[in-house]
Structure 1
Amino acid sequence: MQKNKNKFSLANSRFIFPFLIILLVLMVLFSMRYGAVEISLEEIFSSIQKWFSNTENKTLTERIFLEIRLPRAILCVFVGASLAVGGVLLQALFRNPIVEPGLIGTSCGAAFGAALYFTLGATFNFKDADFGEYTLPLAACLGAMISTGLVFLLSHSKQTGKSAIVSLLLTGIAINALFLSGVGFLSYIARDPQARSIIFWNLGTLSGANWSSVTIVGIVTFVSILIALRYAKQLNALMIGEEEAQFLGVRLNSLKWKILLINVVMVAVATAFVGIISFVGLIVPHLLRILKGSDNRFLIKNSAVLGALLLSLADLLSRLIVAPAELPIGIVTSLVGVPVFIILLQKKNYLF
């Protein structure tokens, strides 16, 4: 009886990914339809048809869909996937279910790099250069690398277990405070338009989505997830302990730096275009572990879809709650993520 039950459970888990894909497609359709301007399904299909046929005579609603609503919905999918997978990678690397990119300085470092770009961009005319559109993600990526590297190096010690975890979290809090103070200083010295950009960016928003950002974030996210899947088995081995993983042939130091690099690049590029969106990387892996354990091969693939699904839902809510105005999406994710984070902190065992 128990054997049949296990087979049934395993069979059900195979349907999780296609089920999430179906839900994601439906959510994206809802996200494209509703907002300050409601767009019918007929107008959506008409817009796509004219887009592929390169027709010029588009209505105002069709232009809103093609130039604003559609790139926003697609960018939201890529950002949600990158944040969720980033959370999976860091939690597997540190063997700690309460770690996410925002807690170890990646997001705040990216915020500092982006704030530097907003403040100094006009002075150095970055936008006028041939690589102007890539300057913002490069600046955010560099800031994220510096902050995450500082957290990792300063918290690294011979301690194990809860002491190492507490050291990591406390170091992350300190580095976050350091870089946030830098963001605050840059906001103080910036001009009004620049300061406004920094403020809205720190609250998280998808309002600036365009096809250029969709292309950049999409390529980085897709390639990063494919590379991350190659290291899923090694991360599974790491879950049983560092010494045990080394006995199984895992090159620990190399794996750590590769995973950190993948996470930093993926999260920093996504954060560069939408700002700081917290708790997606914390909630998504935890929900999937409830469904089917801590196998990173399962988590990486499914977290990409579930992260995209939940962020699309949050984006839809941010546009409907105070319509026709828009609530920053970072506020919506934080309202849901904070209670979950508190529940995890109250658990006695922090390790897998």
Structure 2
Amino acid sequence: MQNKLSIYMLTSVLLLIGLAAISLYVGVYAFEKYSFTELVRGLFSNDGTITESDRFVLLGLRLPRIAMAILIGSALAVSGTCLQGMFKNPLATPDLIGITSGALMFAAITIVLGSSIKPYIPQLLHFSLLSIMSFIGALLTMIMVYRISTNKGKTNVIIMLLSGVAITAMGFAVTGFLTYISDDDQLRDLAFWNLGSLSDASWTKNAILAVIITISYFFLINKGKALNAMMLGEKDAEHLGIPVERIKKQIVLFTALMVGASVAFAGNIGFVGLIVPYILRLIFKSNYNIILPLSAVLGSVLLLSADTISRTIAPPTEVPIGILTAFMGAPIFIIILIKNKKSM
């Protein structure tokens, strides 16, 4: 199995590298006057192969955006995979059970009321306030959904989804009210966060995301065996020596951390955590030893593909990436509902 996983991972990584190369080359600002070799050489050497303006577009705009798509796509896919394994249900994704909405609601509060909040917190936290509030919103929502829908170790899927609907409705109401009282600049920021976009990517944000995701993966990416055991039932998993409660707490904490950071930097990008695990389950059944690490790479492939399309489908404007992922994810959501309607 380990050899197969290595082959799958290598293939997926090569696919991601090829897609990143294509994404670097295409867009509204075209680089048709350069060959791909000249473009790459110009990135790593300041020998005049490409102009300074072109170099700025590549290093200051396009590469940070590609890196953010890779990081956030991976984080959202792994979050969805872990939640589905923990809840033992393919519908348990951050956006469908309200985690994304909770993070968005707290982000909206920060955007509109941040100037009133900042005097009461340390100066050191001002730069990270949006990220911190998004994480708090995601964490509180995750805990609430888990408490409401789980009883004696068993999760009621209907209650879980209804909890997500209620939290999403609350988030919509709060965000709508904040939109009503916001000024023009705040309104622009709220529109950006609600529709989702990677246009505000920067190397600083990518560095923060990379640290958060690295820490989270240290605890989550090796949980395939534990999630396989938990699929049999939590009692059976405990008999096999799996520390179920500790793993569940880790999934809750680090999923909220990754979703909160993703929302803080890119806004509402839905369905990535639904699409990737669903496709992988079609191929590998419910073997999380394979699904979990592969989702980390294929989530990046999916979001980078969507972002490349969003930048090129309607030039010179840009289609919000959240709209594209919703178009891809909604049909899969309906298919899952139809396939599972009897068991639900």
User: What is the TM-score of this pair, normalised by structure 1?
Assistant: 0.89
Q: RMSD of aligned C-alpha atoms?
A: 2.5
Match of 1:99 in 2: 92
Q: Where do 4+ consecutive residues of structure 1 move more than 6 Å? A: none
1:53-112: CA deviation from partner (whole Å, max 9, x where unpaired): 9x9x96111111111101000011000000000010000000001221111221011101
Q: Distance in 1 between matches of 2:117 and 2:85?
A: 40
User: What is the TM-score of this pair, normalised by structure 2?
Assistant: 0.91
What is the 5 A alignment of 1:293-332? Answer: 293-332=285-324
Match of 1:49 in 2: 45
1:211-236: CA deviation from partner (whole Å, max 9, x where unpaired): 11100111111221221024332221
Match of 1:4 in 2: none
Residue 136 of structure 1 pairs with residue 142 of structure 2: no
Q: Distance in 1 between matches of 2:167 and 2:250?
A: 21
Q: Distance in 1 between matches of 2:3 and 2:130?
A: 45
How much does 1:349 deviate? 6.4
Amino acid at match of 2:138: A
Question: Which range moved further: 216-225 or 86-95?
Answer: 216-225
Residue 191 of structure 1 pairs with residue 183 of structure 2: yes
Secondary structure of 2:221 counterpart: helix
Residue 20 of structure 1 pairs with residue 19 of structure 2: no
Q: Is the 8 A contact 2:219 2:250 kept in 1?
A: no
Q: Distance in 1 between matches of 2:25 and 2:269?
A: 23
Match of 2:104 in 1: 111
How much does 1:286 deviate? 1.2
Q: Is the 8 A contact 1:97 1:350 kept in 2?
A: no
How much does 1:273 deviate? 0.2
Q: 1:255 aligns with which of 244, 247, 254?
A: 247
Secondary structure of 1:326 counterpart: coil
Match of 1:231 in 2: 223
Q: Distance in 2 between matches of 1:117 and 1:21?
A: 37
Which ranges of structure 1 fall in alignment gaps of 5 or more residues? 1-6
Taking a change above 3 Å as real, the CA distance of residues 142 and 13 of structure 1, as seen in their structure-2 partners, is: closer
Residue 245 of structure 1 pairs with residue 241 of structure 2: no
1:3-60: CA deviation from partner (whole Å, max 9, x where unpaired): xxxx9xx96554211111011001111111111101343234313323xx9x9x9611
- Among the aligned pairs, what percent are the same residue? 34
Amino acid at match of 1:47: L
Question: Which range moved further: 69-78 or 226-235?
Answer: 226-235
Match of 2:53 in 1: 60
Secondary structure of 1:271 counterpart: helix
Residue 336 of structure 1 pairs with residue 316 of structure 2: no
Secondary structure of 1:103 counterpart: coil
Q: Distance in 2 between matches of 1:350 and 1:65?
A: 51
Taking a change above 3 Å as real, the CA distance of residues 350 and 173 of structure 1, as seen in their structure-2 partners, is: farther
Match of 1:208 in 2: 200
Secondary structure of 1:341 counterpart: helix
